[in-house]
Structure 1
Amino acid sequence: METEIPAMLDERPELYGESFTFHSSRMRMQSVTEEELERMDEQSEDCATLLSDARCDVIAYACLIGIMAQGPGYHEESEAKLRERTVENDGDAPVVTSAGALVRALDRLEADRVALIAPYVEELTRTVIDYFESGGVEVVDYETLECPDNLEVAELDQRNLVDVADGLNTDDADALVLSSCVQMPSLAAVQAAEDRFGLPVFSAATATTYEILDELGLSTQVPGAGRLLDGGLNEGSERTVPTAADD
């Protein structure tokens, strides 16, 4: 979240004349287990309040599995209650979750069947699959990398992801989720995988970036970040092209 999203926003065309600032508030979590994820999510409301002190224009909740582990559809509940905390602090800001962004990206791409790669242990990857399937999306194949240490997840080599995806059966897939975790790097491999497989390829980070830009009323164009961010999905809707630095 703190590396790939700024990298994508920095790659936007210079003609937009934008400048972004980033603010963060952390929730504690070291091992990716159901118990730690639940304790982590309990901290999210205080974090939303702290961030609203900065009067941010949009707030993004980064941990996808932290949301999905709380049960199907929880992203909607989380986004609503976190926004309410910003309203209570007189800093009203829309809230997007990476889990909700990923689910809505599937809808935007009209993808009913997906293949996915996750860094989690098998049990948590099944949680992601169940979350998708509860919303009517079929996971046709998946690969789980069995990495429970959160810091190790961030150190996984994204150059391997295209080869990992080669082992998936994508014949019946409408899209490929190259990384279902904002902690697992994948940005450098998204376009390469899309070119190889001929499918829309995206990640939790690219989906979150789409929603950040959309909530800001900006074009959703990021070069080389896959079909979701090629700017075409919101063509025809009104968008403001900033003429001065926007936060």
Structure 2
Amino acid sequence: MTGFAQPGAPGASPSRPTRVGLIVPSSNTTMETELPELFARQSAATGLRYTFHSGRAALKNVTREELLAMVGKAAECAAAVSDADVDVIAYACLVAVMAQGPGEHAESERLIAKAAVDNGHPAEVVSSAGALVRTLSGIGVGRVAMITPYVKPLTRMVADYIEGSGIEVLDATSLEVDDNLAVGCLDPCALPGIARNLELDGAEAIVLSACVQMPSLAAVQAVEDELGLPVVTAATATTYEVLRALGHTPAISGAGRLLAG
């Protein structure tokens, strides 16, 4: 997590809600539904208000070529989103960052923060890739099992990235979907059954969705309650880091212990 704090950003005035900028793939349909839902629960618990402002970079199929092309648009999207004078920017394409190799989230966050500063609107910056590995480390998790929508080579790449951050991936299920719109149509109600089939012996947490596009919010609490392990997703980890960047204490119900506060 990096960036440049804005005066007053952690609590925008009563007349100005906190502004959250999102950079998402053009075909993404999930982050702009799950994050607002999570922040609506935060608002209900705290009275704080949030609005969302998105920039989009072209991505239709989850291939290495399209992912790398999307990365090239990140700074441009960051500058456009910062025009809204947002308080924080979330770079919400986990696999695009991870495709560049372990640890790359730090450089991506630096470039996005610089683009916002150069545009005259500095903002805190988090990435979904960085949020996932930092959150797992921060809650003391050293071994995970995970579910991804990706084809197996991409899942292996994500596992390698997570392991490059010092977290062992004990088991991973690939759903083998490469069309990003189709990923967004996957049924989150299927996730508890898939999670039951993971090898959980020795696991300290479950990554229920290692993808910002795979819907999972509806299943997070159910899987955590049933299997007894902390459940983290790309969306909940991103939300957690956005709140931390703003100086806001999580108070979100029904989305796992990470966000319960």
TM over 0.5: yes
Match of 2:76 in 1: 46
Whether 2:92 is the aligned partner of 1:62: answer: yes
Match of 2:47 in 1: 17
CA distance in 1, matches of 2:44, 2:37: 14
Residue from 194, 210, 215 that aligns with 2:245: 215
Match of 2:177 in 1: 147
Structure 2 matches for 1:92-131, cutoff 5 A?
92-131=122-161
The residue type equivalent to 1:28 in the other structure is A
The residue type equivalent to 1:109 in the other structure is I
CA distance in 1, matches of 2:235, 2:45: 24
CA distance in 1, matches of 2:138, 2:101: 22
Contact 2:144 2:203 in 1 (8 A): yes
- What does the per-residue CA deviation read over 1:76-113, in whole Å, with 9 as the maximum and x for residues that have no partner? 00001110111111100011000000001111221100
CA distance in 2, matches of 1:190, 1:28: 29
Question: What's the TM-score once normalised by structure 1's chain length?
Answer: 0.92
Match of 1:169 in 2: 199
**CA deviation after TM superposition for structure 1 residue 15, in Å:** 4.9
Match of 2:229 in 1: 199
CA distance in 1, matches of 2:236, 2:202: 23
- What does the per-residue CA deviation read over 1:119-143, in whole Å, with 9 as the maximum and x for residues that have no partner? 0000100000000111111101110
The residue type equivalent to 1:123 in the other structure is P
Return 5+ residue gaps in structure 1 as ranges.
Answer: 232-247
CA distance in 2, matches of 1:20, 1:29: 27
CA distance in 2, matches of 1:13, 1:121: 37
Q: CA RMSD in A?
A: 0.8
- CA 1:117/1:90 → structure 2, altered by over 3 Å: closer, same or farther? same
CA distance in 2, matches of 1:13, 1:109: 24
- CA 1:178/1:55 → structure 2, altered by over 3 Å: closer, same or farther? same
**CA deviation after TM superposition for structure 1 residue 13, in Å:** 5.5
Give me the identity figure in percent.
54
**CA deviation after TM superposition for structure 1 residue 14, in Å:** 3.1
Residue from 160, 163, 170 that aligns with 1:133: 163
Contact 2:45 2:252 in 1 (8 A): no
Length, aligned pairs only: 231
Which structure has greater strand proportion? 2
Question: What's the TM-score once normalised by structure 2's chain length?
Answer: 0.87
- What does the per-residue CA deviation read over 1:39-77, in whole Å, with 9 as the maximum and x for residues that have no partner? 011000000000111110000011100100011100000
Whether 2:179 is the aligned partner of 1:183: answer: no
CA distance in 1, matches of 2:57, 2:45: 36
Match of 1:90 in 2: 120
CA distance in 2, matches of 1:227, 1:170: 18
CA distance in 1, matches of 2:193, 2:163: 26
Whether 2:67 is the aligned partner of 1:37: answer: yes
